[in-house]
Each structure stands twice: as structure tokens, then as C-alpha cells.
A and B are shown apart, each in its own frame.
Chain A
Amino acid sequence: MAKMTMIKAITAAMDEELAHDDKVMIFGEDVGKNGGVFRATDGLQEKFGEDRVFDTPLAESGIIGLANGMALKGFRPVPELQFMGFIYEAFDELAGQMARYRFRMGGSRKFPITVRAPFGGGVHTPELHSDSFEGLLTQVPGLRVVAPSGPYDAKGLLISAIRSDDPVFYCEHMKLYRSIKEEVPDEAYTIPLDKAAVKREGTDVSIITYGYMVQESLAAAEELAKDGINAEVVDLRTLAPLDEDTILASVKKTGRVVLVQEAQKQAGVGGQVASLIGEKGVLYLDAPIARVAAPDTPYPFSDAEEVWLPNKQDIVDKVKETVNF
């Protein structure tokens, strides 16, 4: 057990899986000798060889097409897209091909592919690096979309994703890479896919969130506690398909909901969670479903991130509004 950052936990998970299964192949732009632009694959090529961890030409569709083809030959590809903002280049091979391949072949083949991609704001990246595009992916049947909120979850979820025989899109928030440290076991462990986690128990309101916003929500919950508001924080972890039971159980308990996402309001996952609660949990509600999300503009110029990105204060304010409804 050691305290480590999320980026180290992610490297550790890939290290474990490269050793665990010789069919695991890691590839992408600069993931080899360079160890990745964020050092996520640092040292892996040196340890496992160029046959297992290798660079590709600079072409995202080619990378995901390569993964699909390698899966057809029995490999377990773990391709990296350098930034989630570049998924548009690869969208057919992701959504049109990978996600539906098993379905279109009547279950006669499997596609155990884990696509890793950094995303998320607050670190002043240039254009189309930080965009939260997870909502596009959660609308694709056949794909699991996973987003860890810290180091411990990151390792366990990534190992589960790589071992999964179904395709997983694994979203890594850049601001989480090095901002917090957690105790992470040295050995391999898994965290189940399709399961949300209650990160803070509470009775007055359910804050349902994912990714970096889990950290902002936990901080908001601490502040709200000072005012006697006891918030429960639910971390979705798997964004699609949703863990309906955990979401509905929390709403049933608290009767009030604030959905928190970094993505624009028309994007992300919040709308789908709201729809689920409207469909199956509306009678539990004592107040309307509230949402904290970014404005419906393209992702901002980096100098405008501070005014644009949702934060702890937005969550505190929205929870108070909901509790006092």
C-alpha cells in the first residue's frame, strides 16, 4: 500500500495487466519510449518491450481501427487517444464499429478493447483538449463509459475495464492526474463496472456526479455540513449504462437531487440521470431535480475556464436552493 497520484495508479494498472495477460497491447501516439504525454505509460515499453507497448502514426481513426482489427485476431488492445477532444476523428471506428461489432456478428466474436483518453478542464489546455465528450459516448449502445474520480478507483476500474470482454471507453480527468493522492494497494484489484459508489453518506440531498466533479461535490458537502445540510455524494463511476439501483436508492433516501457535471448542460450524463429519476423515482421527490452544469457554449478559451467551469460554490448554492424549495 502506498499513497499515489491517479496517474501513477493508472500506470500501475496497465503494468499489472501487461504482466497478467500477454494478449494486452498498449499503443497510441507517444505512449512508447516517451511514456505518454502525461507519463501514463512511463517505463512500460522498457519493461515489456516494443512488441507490447508501441507508438502509432498520428491518426486517431487508424488507432481505433487498429484496435478493432487486433481484437479480431484475439488480442486485448488498450489504445490511447491523446485527448478526448480528438474522438471526432475516430468516431466511426469507436461508435460505428467497435461498440456494435459483437452485436452485428450475433455474439460470435468479442471485442475486449479499453480506449483510454484524458479530458477535463482547469489546467489551461489549448483548444479541444479539455472538452467533456462523454455524453456522446454514453449514447452509443454496446459501449461502457467509465470515469474514475480518484487514484484508488482509477486502478481498480482500469483493471476491470481491461479484463472486460466488452469494449470500454475510459475517461481520465486531467485535473485529477496529480492533484490528489490516495492509498492504493500494490497488488491487482478490481472495482466492478456498472456500479456507482456512495462516496459520502447523507440524508438531506443526493448529489449525483462523476469525474473531477466528485471532488468538488465532496468539498461542497463538507461546507454544507457546517450549515447543517447532510449531503450524500453518489459517484456514478460507470456513466453508461447507468447503475439505476444505486441512483434510485439514494434518491429514495434523501428525496432531493442535484446532478453535477462539468460538461455543458445539453451534454454530459445529467439529462439521462434526470430522465431515469423522472421515470422511476419521481414519487420519491420533495423538490424538482436540480442541475449544475457548464454553460451551453463550446468549451471556453483557457483564460475563461475559471468563470465557465462549474465549481464547489455552484454546487453549494444549488443544493441550498433545492433544500429550501
Chain B
Amino acid sequence: MKKLDFEELKHNPEIKPLQVLDEDGKVVNSNLMPDLSDDELVELFEQMVWSRVLGDRTMKLCRQGRLGFFAPTAGEEASQMGSNFAMSKDDFLLGGYRDVPQLVKHGLPMWKGFLWSKGHVNGNKYPEELNAVPPQIIIGAQYAQTAGVALGIKKKGEKNVAYTYTGDGGTSQGDFYEGVNFASAFKAPALFFVQNNLYAISVPRKAQTAAPTLAQKAVACGIPGLQVDGMDALAVYSVAKQARDWITAGNGPVLIETLCYRYGPHTTAGDVPRRYRSEEEEDVWLKKDPLIRMRKFLESKGLWDEDKEKACVEAANKEVDDAMQEVESQPTQTVTELMQNEYVVTPPAIQKELDAYQAKEAK
């Protein structure tokens, strides 16, 4: 694997998408081929298949009214799973609202991810050892907080990173710049991912900024920036892994732009993509499907076949079914419980309200 020169990338960001596999699953850049065992390659692909199933099932469950809010992930499996695969469980994840799959693979039980969709507090009760926060709705806020988590990691002398995700639209936010710049000024171990899926709801990427790439925004903060083919799991993994190694060596943050596409709507809240993008464009990107090229690559190495695919899909479906059972057996939320979670020490005025609700709920 060829080492990326991150020092050089501070001055000259990589603005052509780095690739390992082409659309046919052929290796086009063996220099960047990650050092993964056959088992690890299979595991990475299993996670991508799992994520596709999770997304499809979540869409259906939302349509049935059994889940609530969902931001589709189909098409972003390489970007999401490839990057997350390069991280450690001790790294701290601050995802956006589309980044539930990474969260689940980082250790959040799937049923809790579903409860977040449904709007139930139990989905956001995170065990102490889970290094993550719930999906962030305020676009950019996760970036500013990532700088803080990263500085905390640095002050504790830990050899980990704080990693975060936003979309192409999110790069226009002030908190995007502030977060990256703070992490840079403190030389804090933060890894910033921009998942550029070409649209922020209906607004095309080109309407966000005249900058030819989003990766080059790293230059404004004096950190390395690079663009990677976000439909190529091996390229995303490779770049993320190298960036993580460089960051944990004490060199400061890195910004990675993954060039990808979401096949579904923005969210399940009534977005109709055909209002703002063409069938022709969607067809072009369907041919770039990250699952197709990774599947072909693994098949060519004799590591994948139809039976394995079927087993993987079945296992994922079973996991979704089990998770939904857990979701549907959750108790109804109460106002007193919500109020009890608000403060460590409840102020007397709030306690009075709480007592009144407790009396009401006891009736």
C-alpha cells in the first residue's frame, strides 16, 4: 500500500477522487489497495450488504408506520461502512442523521437505532462504554463538538480519534468551518468525513459553493484534505485507515470527502427526488453501485458467491425482525420519566411540575 503524503496534502489537497476498484470490480490502483485479510474483505462486504438490507427494511417499516424518521442510506454503503471499518471501538463517533449504520456497527444495538427513528428516549440511552452520541439533527453541530471530543482525547493522552460525518450541504455551515479549524488549531485527533452525495435535499452540490471540490476546504484550516471515490469501499477504507494512523501519531485532523450518491429520497418525510434530478443521472449512478463492484471483486477472488449473499441477507433480515420485536415491546414514555432525565439535580420548581405529572400518571 502506497503511503499517502499527508503533509503534502495540507498544501495540495487531492482533488481527483482516489479509487482502488472501478465499476467492474477491477483493481485500477493497486498502490492504494488496503492491507486487509480475505476474512476482513468479506466482513467489510457483509457490512455493506447488511446496510443495504437495513436501509430497505427501514424504508418499508417507515411506510408501514412502524418507524418514524429515516434518512435513506442506499448508495452510501462504501462511504459509510468503508470509513467506519477503518475505525476502532475506542474511537468516538459523532454522526449526522444519515449515519445510523455506522452507529450500529460501532456498538449501538439496532433496536436502539430504530427507537431513535421512532422517537423514543430509550433509543438514546447509551451505555458508558459506547463512544458515540445520537445522530445529530442540527447540521454542523457535530463538527464543532468533534473538535471538543478530540481535544479531550488529546488531553487524556489516548491514542484514538473523534470522527464525524456531514453531507455536502453541511460544508456551507459555520460550524463546519469552526469545528475543523478548532481541531486544527489544537492539533486535535479528529477525522472529518464529508459525504458528498451531490444533493442537499433538492439543492445540487454546485449551488453550495463554487469550490471545485469540498476536500479543498481543508486548506482554509491548514489540514490535509482529499477526495475519494465514495462508491469504492476499498478506496474509502484505505484512505480512512491511513488518515487515522496519521492522526493518532499526533499530527492533527484530516478532512476526507467521499463522492457518493443516495438512491432514495432525502428522508422519509415526503421528499420526491425526481423533482430535482433526472432518471438519466440516477441510471449513471446505479451503475456505480458500491455493492456491484465489491461483489465482483470478491467473486473474482473466490471469496463470495450467491449462497453467501443469501445467508448474509437472511441474517440481516433476522436481525431487523428481532430488533423490531424489541422496539414494539418498549414501554410508553411518561412525562415524569422525561423530566427525571433533564437534570442530575432537579431544581425545586421542576420537581413540583414532576410531582404533579406523577400524580396525574398514577390516576
Binding site for B on A (CB under 8 A): 25, 51, 56-57, 59, 61-62, 64-75, 77, 92-93, 96-97, 101-110, 141-142, 144, 164-166, 193-194, 238, 241-245
For A142, the closest partner residue in chain B by CB is: B342
Task: Mark out the residues of chain B between 100 and 146 whose CB falls within 8 Å of any chain A CB in the assembled complex.
Answer: 121-122, 124-128, 133-134, 138, 141, 143-146
Interface pair A61/B144, CB less than 8 Å apart: yes
CA distance A75 to B133 in the complex (A): 16
- Please tell me if the beta carbons of A65 and B348 are within 8 angstroms of each other in the complex: no
Also in contact, A93 and B144, with CB within 8 A (given A69-B152, A105-B134): yes
A165 cross-chain contacts in B, Cβ below 8 A: 344-345
Give the Cβ gap from B112 to chain A, nearest Cβ, in Å. 10
Partner of A62, one of B92, B149, B178, B349: B178
Size of interface on B: residues with Cβ below 8 Å to A: 46
Q: Which residue numbers of B lie inside 8 Å of A, CB to CB?
A: 92, 94, 121-122, 124-128, 133-134, 138, 141, 143-153, 155-156, 162, 174-175, 178-179, 181-182, 185, 338, 340-345, 347-350, 352
Mostly, the B contact residues are helix
Contact of B343 among A65, A102, A243 (CB under 8 A): A102
Q: Which residue of B lies closest to A27 (CB)?
A: B151
Evaluate whether A69 and B150 lie within 8 angstroms (CB atoms) in the complex, with A57-B181, A59-B182 already known: yes
Question: By the criterion CB–CB under 8 Å, are B181 and A59 in contact?
Answer: yes
**Contact: A241 with B347, CB < 8 Å?**
yes
When distances are taken between beta carbons in the complex, the residues of chain A under 8 Å from B344 are: 102, 110, 164-166
Interfacial chain A residues near B124, Cβ < 8 Å: 104-106, 108
Given pairs A66-B144, A241-B347, 7 additional interface contacts (CB within 8 A): A57-B181, A59-B181, A69-B147, A72-B148, A73-B155, A105-B124, A107-B341
CB within 8 A of A103: which of B128, B133, B338? B338
Chain A residues lying within 8 Å of B141, measured Cβ to Cβ, are 65, 92-93, 96-97
Question: 8 closest Cβ contacts across the A-B interface?
Answer: A69-B148, A65-B144, A73-B152, A62-B178, A106-B125, A107-B341, A241-B349, A165-B344
Would you give the shortest CB distance from A89 to chain B, in whole angstroms?
A: 8
A-B interface pairs (CB < 8 A), number: 150
Select A69's contact among B146, B342, B345, beta carbons within 8 Å. Answer: B146
A97-B178 in contact given A103-B338, A103-B342 (Cβ < 8 Å): no
Measured CB to CB, the nearest residue on chain B to A244 is: B349
User: Quick one: given A103-B341, A166-B343, are A62 and B348 in contact (CB under 8 Å)?
Assistant: no
A-chain residues with CB within 8 Å of residue B148 when the two chains form the complex = 65-73, 77
Contact A69 B125 (CB under 8 A): no
In the bound complex, residues from chain B placing their C-beta under 8 Å from that of A166 are 343-345
Enumerate 27 A-B pairs (CB-CB under 8 Å) in ascending A order.
Answer: A57-B178, A61-B175, A65-B141, A65-B143, A65-B175, A66-B147, A68-B145, A69-B145, A69-B149, A69-B152, A69-B162, A72-B133, A73-B92, A75-B152, A97-B138, A102-B342, A102-B343, A104-B134, A105-B125, A105-B133, A105-B134, A107-B340, A108-B124, A144-B347, A166-B343, A194-B349, A245-B348
Quote the shortest CB–CB distance from A291 to chain B (angstroms).
21
With both beta carbons as reference points, the residue of chain A lying nearest to B116 in the complex is identified as: A104
Q: Once bound together, how far apart are the Cα atoms of A11 and B146, in whole Å?
A: 29
Q: Decide if A142 touches B144 in the complex (CB within 8 Å).
A: no
Report the Cα distance A101→B343, complex, angstroms: 10
Q: Are B352 and A72 in contact (CB under 8 A)?
A: no
Q: Is A141 touching B149 in the complex (CB atoms < 8 A)?
A: no
Complex CA distance for A65 and B186, rounded to whole angstroms: 14
| A243 and B349 contacting across the interface, CB-CB below 8 Å | yes
Tell me, in angstroms, the Cα distance from A102 to B345 when the chains sit together. Answer: 12
Instruction: Given the known inter-chain contacts A96-B141, A106-B341, please indicate yes or no for A62 contacting B181, CB distance below 8 A.
Output: yes
Residue numbers in A under 8 Å from B350 (CB-CB) = 241
Interface centre among B150, B174, B178, B352 (most CB of A within 10 A): B178
B111 to chain A, nearest CB (A): 14
Given contacts A61-B178, A105-B125, A141-B342, contact A72 B349 (CB under 8 A): no
**B72 nearest CB across to chain A (Å):** 23
Which of A66, A106, A164, A245 is B121 in contact with, Cβ under 8 Å?
Answer: A106
Q: Which residue of B lies closest to A144 (CB)?
A: B347
Which of A66, A110, A194: most chain B Cβ within 10 A? Answer: A66
